Structure 1
Amino acid sequence: MPAAEPVADVVVVGAGSGGCVVAARLSENPDRTVVLVEAGSDGARTGPIGTLPVGPGSPLVWRYPGELQPGRDVVIARGRTVGGSGAVNGGYFVRGTAADFERWPATWSYAAVLPYFRKLETDPFGDRRWHGDGGPMPIARTTDAALHSISAAFLDAAASAGFGYRADLNEPDATGAGPVPLNAHRGTRVSTAAAYLGPAADRANLRVRTGAVARRVVFEAGRAVGVEVDLAGERRVLRARTVVLCAGAVGTPQLLMHSGIGPAQQLSRLGLSVLVDRPGVGQGFEDHPEVTVGYRRAVPSPHARGRAILEVVLEADGIELRPYTASFGDIIPGVGDSVARIGVALMRPESRGEVVLRSADPADPPLVRYHYLRSAADQAAMRSGLELAQDLLSSSPFARLVEPVPTGAAVAGMLDNLGTSMHLSGSCRMGADDDPTAVVDDRCRVIGVEGLSVADTSVMPVLTSRGPHATAVMIAERVAAFLDA
């Protein structure tokens, strides 16, 4: 049997965007002991928003085998460091809209979640009804005067095409083109590790264990009593009264299945014991498929590490257009892609994916199947978005900056340039106890057991029509409040 360490009140698994929030908030009570375990290191809490340290050989990411479509394989990189993916991403911090939350349980209406969005941030911009002044996360936007020439041309082109300007994309009904809210300060990315965990570092009741790889949740009589981890070459059980999984939308279903919670048929086939048959674990996740439109710049523009990769976007009819300020080769070390690109993402796709265990070994990463663009509706929506991107690139605001893109080239390259936004969500979705597809209830407690909650994007019942990072932090704030009640 693995060695058992002394009891803590709470063990939080995963020091990513959710785990740092949960651990910091729960440890505000000096009478509660909290242990936060993270498989990676503590070396990337902040960094320039113009560089993504996720390329080949980076020690800061997990790598999972993925399948965008049958026969189209990719490798998915997710953060493996204190701060998680929020410590290595581009700083995009756009909230879900009010309409998004109409599709969530009534207890997660926009009115219910708005106080937590306000609580988490310090955003001096915009209408005070929507923004907070004293939260841990600083929110910034690139000013008009500081915009990259591509970003400025994109806004002009969108306006010429009839799309309205939106100065604050974090308002509840925000559509149109405007500056991206960023979790950044003076060109430096601010993860929840920096914003939440840093100020809590000296608390005697909070302990952060890095290099601790979680294998499974340990149960006794149907209650979570700890987590089995590999730490410093030894297998141990970190015992606790409550366990909170914040391992992300791939890692959390993987842990649940190895703990005996998941589709019984899949677990039994691999020789894993079944504690609770929950068919929804790992099933039906959503992500935003993205196809990029490549073009050549007529005017060279050196990349600046402190410049946001994405300064502005256009939100329109379920499509998000992303004019990147640099090539992927400029922003991701080790990636040899020097092509300038505009991304076209479906923000309300019909396609649903699955996270599937490949073996009974917890060290074996699961397979992530996306099933992108399976439906005719998704294909038609993507073609429409690609045509719009090509029209904008061909408009007069871009005339002196880019070389003409051949007519039809964007749509013709749809499948060749298909990728993912890496916004995977909903792999352990929230719902009613009697809903077989639900994994957690509306307080994010795992259905069928006691003492186990989830606080990451895996619980989203419906993926937001914006990138999920801001919503993930909100979820963690709210789950911490549930656990503190």
Structure 2
Amino acid sequence: MTDRVDVVIVGAGAAGATLAARLSEDASRRVLLLEAGPARKDAHADLLSNVTFALTQRDWGFSAQANPTRIVPFPQGKALGGGSAVNGGLALRPLPEDMDAWEAAGNPGWGWTDMLRCLRRLEDDDCGASDIHGTGGPIPVVRWRDEEFTAQQRSFYDACRAVGLDAVADHNDGRSSGIGSFPMNRRDGVRVSTAIGYLEPAASRPNLTVRGGVLVDRVVVRDGRAVGVEIIVDGARELIEAGEVVVSCGAIQTPPLLMRSGIGPGALLRDLGIDVHVDLAGVGANLMEHPGAFLFIVPNEGVCDIAEVQFQLGARITAPGSDQRNDLLLGMMSHWDLRPTPELRDVVGADVIFALTCGVLLPQARGRVAITSTAPDAAPFVDLNLAGHPEDERRLVAALRLMRDITRTAPMRDRVKGFALIDDAAWDSDASLGAYVQSVSAPWYHPSGTARMGPASMEGTVVDHHLRVHGIAGLRVADLSISPTIARATTNLTAIAVGERAAELLA
């Protein structure tokens, strides 16, 4: 058993690393941060030149059920920085409406006014300091300049303008809709994760300890209070006692830890022989994920350069017939090298393709996460239920039609030789396009909502607006699993802001 600490945080991801760094600013507070991945940082993997949509080597190696007929890889960060260390480096904020919806779900202090304060604090924004942006924070937020756009990305921008999309100077101003540069958390060619932005500057603090290679089996609960965690290191078990336990394992890994600790759906836990401390049906429920669809494009000769940056521009738009603003995000992958997957290359008939992609940012479908074993290293069962609601499928079908229109504009049509993996006949009906959506829909790796925040009186909630787990003293959750609704954005900045807000609540 180690000496008792004031706060133990499980998971050094986007939220957990942020929280640890902020809490340790108080020199009187002993903070212990535990991470299953290695305690060292892989600098090579943080180079932007190595950041693609390909799977990384520093994740858990999970898979997930996309729909009843398809299993897909579902990487989750297993490294200092968590998801912020394995993602594409996009730094999109949630919309003001997203945060106000969190507050409206019975969570005072989580509306846009409060969360804007956290978003400004975390950033060093190239727009400069203002009422909506911050400077001097741990995470740089940088936009591509016009002269930096590749010819491929410029054609995409011009094509989007040709179909009527507005030009956007700042996707993070909370008001804009249209096409513009993706803000990115990058500096000097490096993606700045929370490991770099938050933990590195705090590394010399004597009151902050970061331990890697630690598998946390369970939260130890005595008489209704969390008193520490039981961990496994190199096969040996150890008890760490703490005044407060914070679980920050992300929306996929937080529910299994809570379940192994006796907190979750009572029937499931009893079936696995786990003593139930609190029967909370919401643990693992309400899983939200952004479903994306691709339009794969076979390029004309000389169009794709695999040495170029893969994505620079995006369009936040509202789906036809939707009353939810900016519920779609559209982008272009400038190149996709198929040579490492010869079976796909042979089907497509090209070594390198490019793609337009669009994701539903406010999906109606819900999935779930569950454990099938009490082993802490066992992969959880993950049902994403991608595009499992008719409205999600309808919006992706509309997005496909828009993407085809974009390829037919003057700025892009000479780059397109044809489409891959979609039959010409599929465009004849929405039903055929819907079937295509179900065959290719892919997660954007933004899982949220599996330990939903809200009053204990509200069915399906797990934590209150102070992040305290219902029915257990001394235990909180601080990651995107608390999301009542999913953010209409890539979710990295939202997760970091949750860490910032958690630090305020635990101060």
TM-score category by the smaller chain? over 0.9
What code does the residue aligned with 1:98 have? P
Give the counterpart of 2:468 among 436, 445, 467. Answer: 445
Following superposition of structure 1 onto structure 2, how do residues 214-293 of structure 1 map, counting pairs within 5 Å?
A: 214-293=216-295
Structure 2: tracts of 5 or more residues without a match: 319-326, 346-350, 428-432
* Secondary structure, counterpart of 1:325 in structure 2: strand
The amino acid that maps onto 1:169 is H
Q: Contact 1:293/1:386 (CA < 8 Å) preserved in 2? A: yes
Indicate whether 1:383 and 2:397 are aligned: yes
After superposition, the C-alpha distances for 1:103-140 in whole angstroms (9 at most, x for unaligned) are 11242111111111000000021672210011111111
Pair 1:301-2:298 in alignment: no
1:48 aligns with 2:19: no
Change (3 A) 1:319 1:331: farther
AA aligned to 1:427 is T
Percent of pairs with identical residues: 34
Aligned to 2:199: 197
Match of 1:372 in 2: 386
Q: Deviations over 1:328-362 (max 9, x none)?
A: 65999x99784311111111111000001112222
CA distance in 2, matches of 1:96, 1:112: 13
Q: Is the 8 A contact 1:229 1:235 kept in 2?
A: yes
- The equivalent of 1:135 in structure 2 is 137
Q: CA deviation at 1:311?
A: 0.9
CA apart distance, 1:180: 0.7
Quickly say closer, same or farther: Cα 1:54–1:239, change in 2 above 3 A: farther
Which amino acid is 1:304 matched to? A
CA distance change for structure 1 residues 473 and 380 in 2, over 3 Å: closer, same or farther? same
Q: How does 1:33-432 map to 2 (within 5 A)?
A: 33-41=30-38, 42-44=40-42, 47-52=46-51, 59-105=57-103, 106-125=108-127, 128-298=130-300, 299-304=302-307, 307=309, 309-317=310-318, 318-327=327-336, 338-405=352-419, 407=424, 411=433, 413-432=436-455
Take 1:81 and 1:34, find their aligned partners in 2: how far apart are those partners? 19
SS at match of 1:177: strand
SS at match of 2:183: coil
Q: How many residues align?
A: 477
Where does residue 6 of structure 2 map in the other structure?
9
* 1:476 matched residue in structure 2: 499
CA distance in 1, matches of 2:236, 2:279: 30
Point out the more displaced range, 472-481 or 338-347: 338-347
Change (3 A) 1:130 1:396: same
Cα pair 1:17 1:84 within 8 Å, conserved = yes
1:68 Cα deviation after fit: 0.7
Separation of aligned partners in 2, 1:101 and 1:135: 21
2: distance between equivalents of 1:418 and 1:138?
Answer: 31
Measure, in 2, the Cα distance between the counterparts of 1:216 and 1:304: 45
Q: Quote the offset at 1:385 in angstroms.
A: 0.5
* Alignment deviations for residues 203-257 of structure 1 (CA, whole Å, 9 cap, x no partner): 1111111000111101121111111111133111111111111111111111000
Q: 1:18 aligned to 2:15?
A: yes
Higher mean displacement: 206-215 or 229-238: 229-238
* 1:91/1:53 CA distance change after superposition, 3 Å: closer
Residue 404 to residue 396, structure 1, CA distance change in 2 (3 Å)? farther
Does the 8 Å CA contact 1:54/1:60 hold for their aligned counterparts? Answer: no
Is 1:52–1:331's contact at 8 Å kept on the other side of the alignment?
no
- Superposed displacement of residue 174, structure 1: 2.5
Relative to structure 1, the CA distance from residue 16 to residue 449 in structure 2 (aligned partners, 3 Å threshold; closer, same or farther) is same
Structure 1 contact 126–168 (Cα < 8 Å) conserved: no
Q: 1:262 to 1:116 in 2, by over 3 A?
A: same
* Alignment correspondent of 2:430: none
Secondary structure in 2 aligned to 1:242? strand
RMSD: 2.1
Structure 1 residues 265 and 471: alpha-carbon distance in aligned structure 2, compared to 1, 3 A threshold: same
Work out the CA distance in 1 between the residues paired with 2:53 and 2:244.
32
| 8 Å contact from structure 2 (residues 304, 354) kept in 1 | no
Q: Please tell me whether the aligned partners of residues 52 and 88 of structure 2 are also in contact (alpha carbons under 8 angstroms).
A: no
CA contact (8 A) 1:328 1:335 kept: no
Q: Deviations over 1:419-476 (max 9, x none)?
A: 1101100010110111121111112111111111111111111001111111110010
Q: Secondary structure at the match of 1:321?
A: strand
Runs of 5+ unmatched residues, structure 1: none
Deviation at 1:193, TM superposition (A): 0.5
Segment of structure 1 superposing worse, 13-22 or 46-55: 46-55
Query: Are residues 53 and 302 of structure 1, via their aligned partners in 2, closer, same or farther at CA, if it must alter by over 3 Å?
Result: closer
CA contact (8 A) 2:178 2:315 kept: yes
Q: Determine if contact 1:430/1:441 at 8 Å carries over to the other structure.
A: yes
Tell me whether 445-454 or 38-47 shows the greater mean CA deviation: 38-47
What is the alpha-carbon distance in structure 2 between the residues aligned to residue 203 and residue 249 of structure 1?
29
Paired AA for residue 305 in structure 2: P
User: What amino acid is the match of 2:312?
Assistant: E
Q: Summarize the Cα distance change of 1:88–1:469 in structure 2 as closer, same or farther, 3 Å threshold.
A: same
User: Residue 139 of structure 1 aligns to which amino acid in structure 2?
Assistant: V
Aligned residue type for 1:395: T
Is the deviation greater in 335-344 or in 421-430?
A: 335-344
Please, what TM-score do these two structures have when normalized by structure 1? Answer: 0.94
Residues 117, 330 of structure 1: alpha-carbon distance in 2 compared, 3 angstrom cutoff: farther
Q: Distance in 2 between matches of 1:328 and 1:69?
A: 26
